[in-house]
Chains A and B, each alone.
Chain A
Amino acid sequence: AQTVTQSQPEMSVQEAETVTLSCTYDTSENNYYLFWYKQPPSRQMILVIRQEAYKQQNATENRFSVNFQKAAKSFSLKISDSQLGDTAMYFCAFSAGNMLTFGGGTRLMVKP
């Protein structure tokens, strides 16, 4: 079974600064997909970014980018120029087939 670990239960960052959220996973699969989801106080789950394991290039979406280290089984999320609206729970997730496995989440607070 796959496992996803987010070792930082809570983090904070000043507005306009950069923050990195960590995620590691354990799998014996070679082909898989990794995701970061954001859950603001509204509870809605929103996809932030998606990475295909067979692609070496790190995914980016505007201010959000990942550092995907396949050998180390690491998938961290970098948020640049943090904004107040980035305050949310962030979940890392892994999929190698029919199921999506989530980490425990990191609560991010962006301070003005």
Chain B
Amino acid sequence: EAQVTQNPRYLITVTGKKLTVTCSQNMNHEYMSWYRQDPGLGLRQIYYSMNVEVTDKGDVPEGYKVSRKEKRNFPLILESPSPNQTSLYFCASSFRQGIDTQYFGPGTRLTVL
């Protein structure tokens, strides 16, 4: 089944404790991205990647890191989480950036205390 998977689905952590949210897709997509969703603001793009070893900042990259060492994986890293990073996070992938339908993962609900 074609899909984007994220783990964990739910995470409660404390300020400053490094964490990683994994994202994997099995559709051989070139393009992957991370979004955060906050009430009233819709989804905002954090980082995106057009291919292996190619990443770029989105609208809200501060406090986040990503890597793309393999085509299928695109982890999101919070080196020192803060309460303002409490949000719902989505990973997405597509064949071509900006043109094709993006396939979204199921979301990760993160709470930083």
A50 to chain B, nearest CB (A): 6
Question: Once bound together, how far apart are the Cα atoms of A24 and B46, in whole Å?
Answer: 23
Given A98-B56, A104-B40, A104-B42: A43 and B106 interface contact (C-beta under 8 Å):
yes
**Chain A hits for B98, CB < 8 A:** 32-33, 95-100
Question: A102 contacts the other chain (Cβ, under 8 Å)?
Answer: yes
Q: Cβ of A40 < 8 Å from any Cβ of B?
A: no
Q: Which of A32, A45, A93, A95 has the most CB of B within 10 A?
A: A45
User: Is B77 engaged at the interface, CB distance under 8 Å to the other chain?
Assistant: no
Which residues of chain B are near A102, meaning CB under 8 Å? 35, 42-44
Chain B hits for A4, CB < 8 A = 42
User: Do the beta carbons of B50 and A98 come within 8 Å of each other?
Assistant: yes
Interface size class of chain A, counting residues whose CB lies under 8 Å from the partner chain: 20 to 34
B74 within 8 Å of A (CB atoms): no
Residue from the list B48, B106, B107 in contact with A98, Cβ < 8 A: B48
Given A45-B90, A45-B104, A50-B101, CB of A100 within 8 Å of CB of B33: yes
| B interface majority secondary structure | strand
Contacting residues of chain B (81-101) with chain A, CB-CB under 8 angstroms = 88, 90, 92, 97-99, 101
Q: Which residues on the B side are within 8 Å of A6 (C-beta)?
A: 42
Q: How many B residues have CB within 8 A of the partner chain?
A: 24
Q: Are B43 and A97 in contact (CB under 8 A)?
A: no
1/0 per residue, CB under 8 A from B, across A14-51: the answer is 00000000000000000011010000000111010010
The CA of A43 and the CA of B108, in the complex, are separated in Å by 10
B99, B104, B106: the one contacting A95 at CB < 8 Å is: B99
Please, how many angstroms separate the alpha-carbon atoms of A100 and B42 in the complex? Answer: 11
Give the A-binding residues of B (Cβ under 8 A). 33, 35, 40-45, 48, 50, 56, 58-59, 88, 90, 92, 97-99, 101-102, 104, 106-107
Shortest 8 CB-CB contacts between residues of A and residues of B: A102-B42, A45-B104, A95-B98, A102-B43, A104-B42, A47-B101, A43-B107, A98-B97
New A-B contacts (13) at CB < 8 Å, excluding given A97-B98, A104-B41 = A33-B98, A35-B101, A44-B104, A44-B106, A45-B92, A45-B102, A91-B42, A93-B43, A98-B48, A99-B45, A102-B42, A102-B44, A104-B42
